[in-house]
Structure 1
Amino acid sequence: MTEPNRRTLVKEGASAERTVRELRNQILQGRLLPGEQIRQEEIAEQLQISRVPVREALSILANEGLLTHRPHQGYFVTKRSPEELAQIGLMLALLEEELARTVVWPTDAFIAELRSLNEDMARLVDTTEWADMVALNHEFHLRIFGLSPLRLVLDEVQRLWMLADAFIAIDYATREHRRATIAQHERILKALTARSRARFLKSIRDHRDSTDVGARAGMVRRFT
């Protein structure tokens, strides 16, 4: 049996990455709905690629929690009950509070990198590519929480964020929320720059509360 050459492997790897991004965006933007089956042949035809990178992409998204694999049936967009989402939100609130309380103040260079991430998000606010803001927001927060020495807690928060990304994206569908997110991130950055624990904790809590309000309002509408 002939083994694939390096060029083929590189090409398929790039195709899988593109497929992951496309499917993730379709899920976050609501073009693929909870419970909907992902048909490999349709995705391969749509993106003009073979089924090999499609299968790899589906496996990656299943590991992230966006898809659910059912043996002998295929892959489906994960459907979560309001109760499950409420539990995810509760765990995140509790664990993120501990991470925020224990962060070590970052360097000016680190804060500049965070500000650059927020600027990348700001450039997407008024575009059709707004779904990319979800991943940037994910990175923004996890880099901040990564300043805490509580590594096991951080690992669990990262896992929960992957489960919650589609849930978080509900709010991003509105331009007003996208703009508000940028402003709230700026307040977090100012608190970090000032190295004020009280201001930092308040900015994190206010940001979380604003997200929870929107998510709770849209939870039943989208996920049931």
Structure 2
Amino acid sequence: MGGVAPDTARRVTSVARVIDELRVMLRTRELVPGQQVRQESLAARLGVSRIPVREALKSLEAEGVMRHEPHVGYTVARLSADELAQVYLMRRALETEVLRALPRLRPDQIAELTSLNEAIVADVDRTDVAAIVAGNRAFHFTMFGFSGLDLVVGEIDRLWTRSEPYRTVHLYDAAGRKRVVREHRRMITALRRGDTEGLVELMNAHRDITVTDLHAALGLPNLAPPS
């Protein structure tokens, strides 16, 4: 019988594990934009060779999360204020189209979103920022997925991934963590009522507050897109 060779399967598993660890390090700001990734240290930390570490870094480079510089190695990609502004401009345009394409959600779909948001509540209570980031992403992309616009949602996913090292800033404030949950509940209410334009307005406000927090935390020029 055919199948994946054991060595290959182990390498794939190791690469996935390194990618997961790097994502946690980015979400918790153990790694920040511009910081170099020490491959030897990471390999020792995870008990793997440098080969899966290098493959994981190449994978994240393809996503725009890491950058490779000759004679330097891999560093966390740093986005300029203009690049961040463009990311949020594209997100606003694409997410608005996706939300307007949503059908009236079924009770089970509303229940799924409610459950995802309540899981975030538990993470907020534990101040588990990495879990909050993952839960927030799961909430939004479950909602986006109900639109059926898979190609557009894929582009939104790419933008979220590229800006993730920056988007965690506002979650280090207790009020910011609670606000995320509260705003999700308002979105669920709008979805239950079939209030598409209300949902779009809530999402715009939800996104723009993150932009404002970034502006304040990083000392960047105003990133908010024109209304």
Which TM-score band (shorter chain)? 0.7 to 0.9
Q: Mark the CA change 1:166 to 1:48 in structure 2 (over 3 Å): closer, same or farther.
A: same
* TM-score, L = length of structure 2: 0.84
Please say if residues 27 and 129 of structure 2, whose CA atoms lie closer than 8 Å, have aligned partners that are also in contact. Answer: no
- Amino acid aligned to 2:49: S
Query: Residue 153 of structure 1 corresponds to which residue in structure 2?
Result: 152
Cα displacement (A) at 1:189: 0.8
Query: Residue 66 of structure 1 corresponds to which residue in structure 2?
Result: 65
Q: Does 1:85 align with 2:101?
A: no
Bigger mean CA offset, 146-155 vs 202-211: 146-155
Q: Secondary structure at the match of 2:129?
A: coil
Q: Identity rate of aligned residues, in percent?
A: 36
C-alpha distance in 2, partners of 1:198/1:5?
52
Query: Residue 30 of structure 1 corresponds to which residue in structure 2?
Result: 29
| 1:35-54 equivalence runs, <5 A | 35-54=34-53
Structure 2: gaps (5+ residues): 221-227
Cα displacement (A) at 1:78: 0.6
Bigger mean CA offset, 119-128 vs 80-89: 119-128
RMSD: 2.2
Bigger mean CA offset, 178-187 vs 44-53: 44-53
Cα displacement (A) at 1:149: 4.6
Structure 1: gaps (5+ residues): none
Cα displacement (A) at 1:150: 4.1
Query: Residue 201 of structure 1 corresponds to which residue in structure 2?
Result: 200
C-alpha distance in 2, partners of 1:188/1:178?
16
Count of matched residue pairs: 217
Q: Mark the CA change 1:205 to 1:128 in structure 2 (over 3 Å): closer, same or farther.
A: closer
Please say if residues 99 and 150 of structure 1, whose CA atoms lie closer than 8 Å, have aligned partners that are also in contact. Answer: yes
Please say if residues 100 and 197 of structure 2, whose CA atoms lie closer than 8 Å, have aligned partners that are also in contact. Answer: no
C-alpha distance in 2, partners of 1:59/1:120?
32
C-alpha distance in 1, partners of 2:114/2:10?
33
Q: Mark the CA change 1:9 to 1:116 in structure 2 (over 3 Å): closer, same or farther.
A: farther
Query: Residue 164 of structure 2 corresponds to which residue in structure 1?
Result: 165
Please say if residues 98 and 153 of structure 2, whose CA atoms lie closer than 8 Å, have aligned partners that are also in contact. Answer: yes
